[in-house]
Chain A
Amino acid sequence: MANPLVAEDTQAPVLGREATIEERLNGILSSYQRNEDQLIPILQQVQLAFGYLPETAMRKIAKFLNLPESTVFGVVTFYAQFRLVPSGRNMITVCRGTACHVRGGARILREVEKHLGVKPGETTSDFEYSLETVACFGACALAPVMVVNDKVQGRMSTAKVRETLGNGSS
């Protein structure tokens, strides 16, 4: 706060960023009808554009569809596909399916959690990694399975987790 000019500078880009969210949202919304049925398609489209659902976007969608904000939030949190925080640059998905479980999937998950310091559904504070789980990845033969950015890694072990995620991360 010492130099007010600096304070002003840091404000400018923030305003700029908000404005583009606003504009891009308007663009998306303009192709939809103001109809409650459109809520999920809109949320999907917005998530596609931003990688997650920013709070301002949810508010705007609520306003657009004339729905209470709490209702939009309820729907967003009901479906696993929607994210409330931006996803990390790398997406780690650990399988929780039966086959993987039997072969130690839980241990793999715990190791990833420990290593990244986040729980499923969360993103590391440096936005490097996001962690998610799936029910079955359909690669049971390779169990336990972990997927890094669409690349399936089979027969995981805790050592392989450390190797994949590097040592120094987060």
Chain B
Amino acid sequence: MVTVTPSRVEEKKTDTISLTINGRQVVATKGATVLEAALSAGIYIPTLCYDPDLKPYGACRLCVVEIEGMRGLVSSCTTPATEGMVVHTETARVTKSRRITMELIIANHHGDCLTCAVNQQCELLKIARYLGMEQEHIERLRKGTQVLPIDRSHPAFERDPNKCILCGICVRACHEIAVVGAIDLAFRGYSAKVSTFGDKPIIESICKSCGECISRCPTGALVPKWEKAPVKEVKTICPYCGVGCSLYLGVRDNEIVSVRGDPEGATNKGSLCVKGRWGYDFVSHPERLTTPLIRIPGTSRKLGQDGQLHEIFREATWDEALELAAKRLLELKENYGPDGIAILSSAKCTNEENYVMQKFARAVIGTNNIDHCARLCHASTVVGGIAAFGQGAMSNSYRDFEKTDLFFVTGSNTTECHPIIGSIIKRRVKFGGAKLILADPRSTELDEYATVQLHHKPGTDVALINGLMHVIIRDGLENTGFIEERTEGFEDLRQLVEKYSPEAVETITGVPQSDLEAAAHLFGEAKSACVLYGMGITQHITGTDNVKSVANLLLLTGNMGREGTGFSPLRGQNNVQGACDMGALPNVYPGYQKVVEPAVRMKFETAWGCELSDRPGVVVTEVADGINKGNIKGLYVMGENPMLSEPYLEHTAQALNKVEFLVVQDIFLSETAWLADVVLPAAAFAEKEGTFTNTERRIQRIRQALMPPGEARADWEIISALAERMGHPFGYESAAQIMEEIASLTPIYGGIRFDRLDQDGLQWPCPDSSHPGTPYLYQDGFARGRGKFHAMDHIPPAESVSKSYPLILTTGRILEHWHTGTMSRRSGVLSKLRPEGAIEMHPSDATKLGLIESDLIVVASKRGQIEVPVHITEKSPPGVVFMPFHWHEAAANILTSDALDPVAKIPEFKVSAVNAVLAVLDRAAQDNAFLARLAENPAEALKDYNLTKEEKSALASGDIRKIESWLGKLDERLRTWLILRLSQEKW
């Protein structure tokens, strides 16, 4: 499979040609193949190796046609249609040839159609019938061919080479669309088959489990293990990440039985990632909450296990639960004032629900104490973006990426965290001639695609970007026209970056000068460039500065407000953009309208019929503090799990134990819900109507496919019911009706109505009902007028390494799991693919610590410690360890620092100082002072203990028997550790 530009990247030509097919005049777009011309005219030609999204292959020979003036039969999928061509698709010769081809294919196709999982959709059978071949005939043709082993290694799908017809579609899908290249055609002749590298089981290959191959295979050779034929299909949006892929859920007996990417989906064109394809069994998981729960009076707030549920909670009716919640919240409001209550809304819930939740906080409780987990991921984007452009959202669309010449990806592990965007970048670089600069302390999959890689030290982003701008200005690559016409503050920036010479920047960031120079030139000389970033930029005490730096770079080079350019923060949660848009933030109403502005406040007071507070509320990261200080007495949490997602968990746990009244509304009994006084069971995404807004500002509809389990209800219904009990009925009947209210109060959503969202949704700003939405912002001007440069110096991270904490811990996500794992870890496939967490460490650090792969280690920071297996890999640079935060058994956030960005109040998840030690050693060291010293620093231990010559030489030579005679018997692993460790010292 040598790579050529696949058709989906090619420019579409607009001019047309006309030709004659089967005596009919047909018009086709220029550049179309004969097959495409026929298909678009509604003329069927059987095909097995053709796929409209893949480049033509010409292997199956079923699509043969006769063309006047050409000798013999030609394959229509590889022959370009030309003006005046005369084509016959159904002559006797054609049919005969097709039949022979089919017979050959079927003779080699081993399997029993009746029991085949795909028999309803099998292209092979369909074509056989089309050609008039009877089932019996087919069975007769079938020779007892070789029986190849079926690959059942993957938890989600099977590969049966006996049913494979070698059409190569899976191979091309994997290379051209997913851009993974896990499989290819291998071996020859009779033994030819689709194979992984080394013909190993697929699970041992680099396969990303995206299922692109499976969804396109025309036969039963690639089939999901669990799929059943659905009774109906419901179009909806993936509930995992901010990419917002459109898909169809297949439903039967109130269960999701199949999943299919929406081929027309504006975001994903049918593709899905492993989570969106296989991650739905959480919806009908037996642990779903099905009834309200009330804490049994007198039980202490602690995390429980499954069996203990009935010792801690009693099941309650909605009446009881709502009554209790309403009564207690009113009491708290009465006793401590409205600001004594705080509310956490949710980036997993719909826009309508976030809107209703913030209205509940503001109108019913009377406080602006409402926030959600965007604080923990992109608060700095909102603040920094507004400061620079007047708007904190992504300025462009995925479709801009198809036009981008240069991608600058920083602090984003795009292929794992936003897989579909990751594939676009890979496609553009591999097939479309785009270039990529990658700046990240860690190595990621995109490294292989990067023209320049910048592996800077964690927390040095401002210095790095200042350095890039230094070179750009020094070499005259800035866009002077753009700077003059559309920006302000350039002079300050120019002066500031003067001192960020490549030498100076190398000292701070560790990035070689030549790499910095190369990157600056690539960026400065690109026709159109985008910066894509994730939490590697935002989760720092300098998060806001980092975001402003990104903005500086874009303004400096004029890469804003044009197609193919722009500012692309990649938002994490499926609806984190929407939750921000809806004003689930302590300082703004929906549409970023400020609570401190009297005119705005008056508008909302009129609409909601009550007085509103003008004091901005507290942010998520201040809630724990507020509780500990006694300012916040009541907490209402919807669909969030601060007990795993907050930094410095110990601190959060203390607070949640202390709060007077805690209501948690969720689909599962999360770590946080276990501590609640009242638990309210919510409906999952597939059980309700509403909208999500993805990272490119696209508002898309989710639709109800299932009935919620038991008594569970949609979040907006629960909040409305509670509001009603508290004397403030909202009177909502449907999500659509809520959206009408949103539109009436939120200018950027002004034109959004459910019935306008049926196909692709709409991108805000969409001010009125005839507006088509806005794919990219700032074409004619920035939201704040001129774009503003911010001159900023490098500020080192809050924590740095020390002798006791010599490693930097940085946290993040992995492809197969989501956030705190509440959903993904309840998916059979996802949890089988990645059952447990591990901390990644560079081989050089591992050697220093005497660690080998999979050793259980104790990792500790000033705040706490966890035990976790180590994974030794060069992906982490020396001195930096990486850990995902999905696992409650080894919760990374026990360790993380709660140092905050002063403006955006986002915690510095990306830099915490830690140490690591082999777990058995840690335990042994607890009751053996000598081992403890040895673990820390063997050379010093030696000095301290004033050892005899004999003892020294025993240590130096790793004479375990002797050492054991002083220390007592050692654990097996400890012995090997000791020998390895001692052998490194110079004695």
Contacting pair B960 A68 (CB below 8 A)? no
A69 and B975: CB pair below 8 A?
Answer: no
Given contacts A4-B975, A8-B980, A78-B186, contact A69 B960 (CB under 8 A): no
Which A residues are in CB contact (< 8 Å) with B205? 70
Residue B175 is within 8 A (CB to CB) of chain A in the complex: yes
> Which of chain B's residues has its CB closest to A73's CB?
B197
Mask for A1-21, Cβ within 8 A of B = 1, else 0? 100110110000000000000
Q: How far is the CA of A25 from the CA of B875 in the complex (A)?
A: 23
CB distance from B451 to the nearest CB of A (A): 12
Q: When the two chains form their complex, are residues B182 and A70 in contact, meaning their CB atoms are under 8 A apart?
A: yes
Q: Mark B1-45, 1 if CB is under 8 A from A, else 0.
A: 111000000000000000000000000000000000000000000
Whether the Cβ atoms of B979 and A77 lie closer than 8 Å is no
Chain A contact residue count (CB 8 A cutoff): 24
CB distance from B431 to the nearest CB of A (A): 12
Interchain CB contact under 8 A, A74 and B186: yes
The answer to whether A77 touches B175 (Cβ under 8 A) is no
* A36, CB-defined interface residue at 8 Å: yes
For B975, the closest partner residue in chain A by CB is A4
Please, how many angstroms separate the alpha-carbon atoms of A80 and B198 in the complex? 16
- Is A8's CB under 8 angstroms from B979's CB? yes
Contact (A69, B186) CB under 8 Å given A1-B972, A4-B960, A8-B980 = no
Determine whether the beta carbon of A73 is less than 8 Å from that of B195.
yes
CB pair B976–A68 under 8 Å, yes or no, is no
Q: Cβ of A70 and Cβ of B960 under 8 Å apart?
A: no
A interface footprint on B551-590 (CB within 8 Å = 1, 0 otherwise):
0000000000000000000000000000000000000000
Across the interface, name the chain A residue whose C-beta is closest to B180: A68
Cα–Cα distance between A99 and B186 once the two chains are bound (Å): 31
The answer, yes or no, to whether B199 is at the interface (CB within 8 Å) is: yes
Interfacial chain A residues near B186, Cβ < 8 Å: 70, 73-74, 76-78
How distant is the Cα of A70 from the Cα of B197 in the complex, in angstroms? Answer: 4
| Interchain CB contact (< 8 A) of A74 among B3, B184, B975, B983 | B184
Asked if A58 CB lies within 8 Å of chain B CBs, one says yes
CB distance from A75 to the nearest CB of B (A): 8
Asked if A23 is an interface residue, CB under 8 A from chain B, the answer is: no
A78 touches B183 (CB 8 A): no
B448 CB–A CB distance under 8 Å:
yes
Most buried by A among B186, B975, B979: B186
**For A167, what are the chain B residues with a Cβ–Cβ distance below 8 Å?**
none
Q: Chain B residues with Cβ under 8 A from A74's Cβ? A: 1, 184-186, 195
A170 within 8 A of B: no
Q: Which residues of A contact B3 (CB under 8 A)?
A: 36
Check A73/B199 contact, CB under 8 A, given A8-B980, A68-B175: yes
A22 an interface residue at 8 Å Cβ cutoff? Answer: no
- Partner among A4, A55, A71, A77 whose Cβ is within 8 Å of the Cβ of B1: A71
Decide if A58 touches B197 in the complex (CB within 8 Å). yes
Q: Kindly state whether residue B958 has any CB partner on chain A within 8 Å.
A: yes
Q: How far is the CA of A116 from the CA of B41 in the complex (A)?
A: 62
Which residues in B have their C-beta under 8 angstroms from that of A71?
1-2, 175, 181, 184
The reply to whether B198 and A73 form a contact with Cβ atoms under 8 Å apart is yes
Which residues between 951 and 987 of chain B lie within 8 Å of chain A, taking CB atoms?
958, 960, 972, 975-976, 979-980, 983
Question: With an 8 A cutoff between CB atoms, is B943 at the interface?
Answer: no
Rounded to whole angstroms, the CA-CA distance of A58 and B976 in the bound complex is 34
Closest chain-B Cβ to A160's Cβ sits at a distance in Å of 30
Query: B188 in the interface, Cβ–Cβ < 8 Å?
Result: yes
Chain A residues positioned under 8 Å from B980 (CB to CB): 4, 8
Q: How far is the CB of A67 from chain B (nearest CB, A)?
A: 8
Q: Is the CB of B1 within 8 A of A69?
A: no
Give the most central of A68, A76, A78: most B CB within 10 Å. Answer: A68
Q: Cβ of B206 < 8 Å from any Cβ of A?
A: yes
> With an 8 A cutoff between CB atoms, is B336 at the interface?
no
Asked whether any CB of chain B lies closer than 8 Å to the CB of A66, the reply is yes
B226 within 8 A of A: no
Other-chain contact of A69, B188, B197, B983 (Cβ < 8 Å): B197
Is B732 in contact with chain A by the CB < 8 A criterion? no
Taking a contact as CB atoms under 8 Å apart, the answer to whether B188 and A7 are in contact is no
Partner among B2, B183, B195, B206 whose Cβ is within 8 Å of the Cβ of A77: B195
B822 lies within 8 A of chain A by Cβ: no
Closest Cβ of chain A to B142, distance in Å, is 26
Within B511-532, the residues touching A (CB, 8 Å) are: none
Chain B residues whose C-beta falls within 8 Å of the C-beta of A79 in the assembled complex: 188
Structural contact, A4 and B184, CB atoms closer than 8 A: no
Which residues of A37-86 are within 8 A (CB) of B?
Answer: 55, 58-59, 63, 66-74, 76-80
- Interface contacts beyond A69-B206, A72-B197: sample of 8 additional A-B pairs, CB < 8 Å, sorted by A: A4-B980, A67-B181, A69-B197, A70-B183, A70-B205, A71-B1, A71-B184, A73-B199
**A-B contact list, 28 entries, CB within 8 Å:** A1-B972, A4-B975, A5-B979, A7-B976, A36-B2, A36-B3, A59-B197, A68-B1, A68-B175, A68-B180, A68-B182, A68-B184, A69-B197, A70-B186, A70-B196, A70-B197, A71-B1, A71-B2, A72-B197, A73-B184, A73-B186, A73-B197, A74-B184, A74-B186, A77-B187, A77-B199, A78-B186, A80-B188
Chain A interfacial positions (CB closer than 8 Å to B): 1, 4-5, 7-8, 36, 55, 58-59, 63, 66-74, 76-80
Interface residues of B (CB under 8 A from A): 1-3, 175, 180-188, 195-199, 205-206, 448, 958, 960, 972, 975-976, 979-980, 983
